[in-house]
Amino acid sequence: MKPASRAFKTNATRALENEPLQRALRGIKYGFVANRAKARASLPEFDRLRDEARAIKEHTLAHLDLYLEEYESKVIEAGGQVHWAASADDAREAILKICRDAGARSVTKGKSMVGEEIAINEHLEAAGIKAIETDLGEYLIQIRGEPPSHIIAPAIHLTMDQVEADFRNIHKNLPPERILDEPGQLVAEARAVLRDGFLAADVGITGANLLIAETGSSVIVTNEGNGDLTQCLPRVHIVIASIEKAVPTLEDANTILRILARSATGQECSTYTTYSTGPKRPGDPDGPEEFHVVLLDNGRTEMLGGAFHDMLRCIRCGACMNHCPVYGAVGGHAYGWVYPGPMGAVLTPSLIGIDEAGHLPNASTFCGRCEAVCPMRIPLPKLMRHWRMREYEKGNTPARYRWGLKLWAFAARRPWLYHALTGLGASLLARFGKRRGRIRSLPMAGGWTRHRDLPAPQGKTFQQLWRAQEKAS
Amino acid sequence: MSGARKRQSVLEGIRAALGAGGSDKTRKETVRKRLKSPRANLVPERASKDRAGRLELFTGMLEGQGAKVSHAKGPGDVPEIVAAYLRDNNLPTDFRTGSDDLLAAIPWDKTPSLTRHRGRGKAGDGVTMSRARAAAAETGTLFLTSGGENPTTLNFLPDTHMVLIRADDILGSYEDAWNVLREVYGQRTLPRTVNLISGPSRTADINQTIVMGAHGPRRLHVIVVG
Amino acid sequence: MAKSKTPETKPNVGLFVTCLVDLVRPSIGFASVKLLEQAGCRVSVPRAQTCCGQPAYNSGDRPDARALALKTISAFEAYDYVVAPSGSCAGMLKHHYPELLGDDPGTAERARAFADKVHELISFLVDVRGVTRVKARYDGAVTYHDACAGLRELGVKAQPRQLLESVEGLKLLEMEDAEVCCGFGGTFSVKYPAISNAIVEKKTANIAASNAPCLLAGDLGCLMNMAGKLSREGRDIEVRHVAEVLAGMSGDPAIGEKQS
């Protein structure tokens, strides 16, 4: 997917005017946010589990090479194959080759953010292989040709009317007079249509929430069961996972799973958690005959041990975006690439470059709610600020803004000058706003006064008044 | 680049980033120990209840997720519970199972209205039944393992999935359940698929409204035996 | 009112006025002084203070932010405590100075020692000085916005409510989403005005829905943002810093009101 993050401001303005999107975004507060709070309240150990989960990931990252080797050897022992991919290109190539070798004509896909990251569907389609997204939300956006707007609820921006219109448009072989008024009817139609896809697929591709070194198992969580039909029906199962998904043991996976669903949807646990280890065993009546894991680096190693290391703990729950006022205002598409919200604001520049994604770490009020809810305690504002620093050092900060800062800092470092200027400014602005007590429009502050008044200063600075009082006493 | 070279380059990249050599003995020993004898991390208090408490929590959690839970005193009561459930919900009376011992020991003949088919799940299956090896009461989660006894496809293809579990197999935590599987399958070994199931299939992808039966079963009926 | 009344134990407090209070609303500074003195502190206002450096820090300009941090530390090092009527600026001094100056062993220790003395005004009164009630009167209902930095960096949540409860005649009506950001975010509000506006619109709707005719908070930046939006929307809600009400100094015109 070609990034559109440079157009963040334009995208955001369009999003703010998109009423159906705004309605959907308002719903997040009553769903994900309220449910997470409830789930947290009903598990007294929740915050301690977060600390443990963070420690598990840090331990794993410090031994990542070794755990990946262990994981690999267990996959091979179970009869599977592991393909290492340094780049998105490597991963796409590896997957296409497996599909070609299997003579695949059609592929089903479980939900995978890494799949989005490497744009695997486009690559397979270009090679004449049909790729069907089976997670309902992913299916809804696939038929519209859109990227996901949320990492766990990819179609959260769509209304029921839009889905109905799309279904009537795409499912042409169904009777046009059928009734599609309720979510249940739409879900039933998607279920029937996708069921044929499941049964016909030659290859199933899923992501992985975790890779367990102890057993060589990859883990996915779903509520729909689509990831399971994707892997237990076709002849070949491919897992695509980035390297930081590794954890040592089943016990370590338990800890992370205990905070994942609660942070994401607010469920006690997802409906289905599936551990897949190699291909079907002798005597198994079902399951894939071939099992492949594509291990993707694509920039992770560069983050390891560096300024953005903490981001490698992310378990893709989406809590940061659910609680973000900026995401809540503009939705996911405004961010212009695969990962939106605070986690995207940190990760996207690492993956596609800060020149491309410079807006994202800047478009934050630093309210800190993302960090407060992050199950892995990732200091997201700090990491966004770090990107701003990189930009400033590179000279990416707009010149006008840079010079403004320089002038201000020059004065602020010289208290006598600063106090003289603020004294002048306070009296000037006070005179300007004298009639109403507020200023409705001010040159150079158009960004502020376009939407709100500027309360006028009281007239003298505190320093002036304080010194006068000192003198008097 | 060849596959082996790519592997090498990723692993070397990681080692360089960590400032670690591949032959670092201490790191290897740490990893070996952690994998050899897995240690439980913090386990929620709610998982440490007695048998009755576990059963109650298990039932409450599953019902909260939209499943139905029934209790059978012994294997002999199961056919009637199944027949009544299918009748009450207007469901077909034939169902498919694998070759599991516990399922085989149920006196199905007692209830002639029921027809039991055997084998892996098929497209169009209305009702299937599996046996869960273990369950964790903490979230009302069933642990189902793949194989001829309980083919994985039975868990996902039908409209209605019934799961049998012995009351004694309902444990407190995930840790307890994994330890049972370690006893059955051995250390560092799992069957091809382990399905943790905590309710019927559901989605909230349209209108942020929960709908049951997205891709997997619309109904989950759990029968606790004993 | 305060635990310690003996003059010999009076701690020396350096008031970090904050650049916004200095420029826009000195009355908050005077209210802070009054509250601190009532709590048994000797208050000084170092002349060498300007701004905490947050605009530079959050814009990625680390060199200027460091320079300002060192200036601020020099100006305040001598005091027992450094108190600011702003969670945002106090958070900068307390949490971000050590981070900014941490990579140089010479400055790291100084920044840490300095950070230990820094407090946001209201939490300082309650948590450090043991103030449980104030002597003030305010006739009417108020609603309180939890400004982000105070809430999440410094844990300011119960303290202002506890003290407001002791104000005679005052009734606190909680708004929905009091803990959600108002959309100010410093330079964010001018860099992304449309998004900032969408966020503050939700906030003013919640403020209005609380039915309180008065909005309080502990950070002037956020207050100016919300006051500016409320007045642009034509809503008749007065906006004040919580210190003004706690100090019994709510006679002055409110933020954005015509000066008498």
Q: Report percent pLDDT > 70 for chain A.
A: 100
- Spatial distance between the Cα atoms of B108 and B114, rounded to a whole number of angstroms: 7
* pLDDT of A443: 76
Contacts with C225 from chain A: Cβ below 8 Å: 452
Higher-pLDDT residue of A441 and B173 is B173
Q: Could you tell me if residue C18 is left (phi over 0), alpha (psi between -120 and 50 degrees) or otherwise beta?
A: left
pLDDT at C186: 93
Are residues B13 and B85 both part of a single domain?
A: no
Which residues 109-148 of chain C have a CB within 8 Å of chain A? 148
The predicted model gives C99-118 an average pLDDT of 96
Residue A192 has pLDDT above 60, yes or no: yes
Residues B19 and B91 in one domain: no
Please determine, for residue A213, whether its predicted confidence score (pLDDT) is greater than 90. Answer: yes
- B20 touches A304 (CB < 8 A): no
Cβ neighbour number for residue A24 with a 10 Å cutoff: 21
Judged against a pLDDT cut of 70, whether residue C7 lies above it is answered with: no
For chain A, what are the domain ranges?
A: 1-42+318-397, 53-301, 403-472
Minimal-distance CA residue of chain A relative to C23: A461
Return the percent helix, strand and coil in chain A, to nearest 5. 55, 10, 35
pLDDT, tens only, A360-400: 999 999 999 999 999 999 999 999 999 999 999 999 888 98
Span B114-127, mean pLDDT?
A: 96
pLDDT of the residue at A1: 77
Residues B22 and B56 reside in one and the same domain:
no
Report the first-to-last Cα separation within chain C, whole angstroms.
32
Contacts of C37 in chain A (CB under 8 A): none
**Which residue of A271, A281, A301 to mutate against B (max B Cβ within 10 Å)?**
A271
Task: Note whether A27 contacts C: Cβ–Cβ < 8 A.
Answer: no
Q: Domain boundary residue among C100, C127, C154?
A: C127
Domain that holds residue C11: 7-127
Give yes or no: residues C191 and C235 share one domain: yes
CA-nearest residue to B203 within chain A is A224
Task: List the one residue out of C254, B109, B167, C174 whose CA is nearest residue A456.
Answer: C254
- Write down the mean pLDDT value for chain A: 96
Q: Is the pLDDT of residue C31 over 60?
A: yes
Q: If pLDDT is split at 50, 70 and 90, which confidence band does B21 have?
A: confident
Q: What are phi and psi of A106, to 5 degrees?
A: -140, 140
What percent of chain A shows pLDDT beyond 90? Answer: 96
CB-nearest partner of C23 from A12, A365, A457: A457
Q: Is the pLDDT of residue A236 over 90?
A: yes
Of C61, C186, C195, the CB nearest to A329: C195
* Ramachandran angles phi, psi of C20, nearest 5°: -70, -45
Radius of gyration (Cα) for chain C, nearest Å?
A: 18
Chains A and B touch (3+ CB pairs under 8 A): yes
Mean of per-residue pLDDT scores for chain B: 96
C-alpha to C-alpha distance for A12 and B185, rounded to whole angstroms:
53
Do C121 and C147 reside in the same domain of the chain?
A: no
Residue C108: which CATH number?
1.20.1050
CATH number, residue C230 = 3.40.50.11810
Minimal C-alpha gap between B192 and chain A (Å): 5
Domain of B166, in residue numbers: 49-225
Restricting to A residues 182-201, those with a Cβ less than 8 Å away from any Cβ of C are none
In a mutational test of the A interface, the residue from C64, C195, C207, C241 whose CB has the highest number of chain A CBs within 10 Å is: C195
Task: With beta carbons less than 8 A apart as the criterion, state whether B201 and B212 touch.
Answer: yes
pLDDT exceeds cutoff 70 at C146: yes
Q: Using the beta-carbon criterion (under 8 Å), do B14 and A301 form an inter-chain contact?
A: yes
Domain count, chain B: 2
Is residue B41 included in any domain, yes or no?
no
The pLDDT score that the predictor gives to residue A29 is 95
- Residue B187 and residue B79 in one domain: yes
Residues B100 and B24 in one domain: no
- Within 10 angstroms of residue A465's Cβ, the number of other Cβ atoms is 17
The verdict on a CB contact (< 8 Å) between B38 and A297 is no
Amino acid at B137: A
CA distance C256 to A454: 7
Q: Count CB neighbours of A286 within 10 A.
A: 22
How much is the average pLDDT of A244-272? 98
Quote the number of domains for chain C. Answer: 2
Question: Would you call B34 an interface residue with chain A, using a CB distance cutoff of 8 Å?
Answer: yes
Selecting from 3.40.50.10420, 3.40.50.1100, 3.10.270.10, 3.90.420.10, what CATH number does the domain A53-301 have? 3.40.50.10420
Judge whether B192 lies within some domain. Answer: yes
Least confident stretch, A343-347, A435-439, B221-225: A435-439
Give A334-350 pLDDT, tens digit per residue: 999 999 999 999 999 99
**How much is the pLDDT for C1?**
46
Q: Give this complex's ipTM.
A: 0.98
> Span B91-118, mean pLDDT?
96
Nearest residue on chain A to B39, alpha-carbon basis: A251
Per-residue confidence (pLDDT) for residue C8, from 0 to 100: 60
CB contact under 8 A, B206 and A70: no
Residue C258 covered by a domain: no
What is the pLDDT, as a whole number, of residue B22? 63
Name the nearest CA neighbour of A240 among A288, A296, A191, A287.
A296
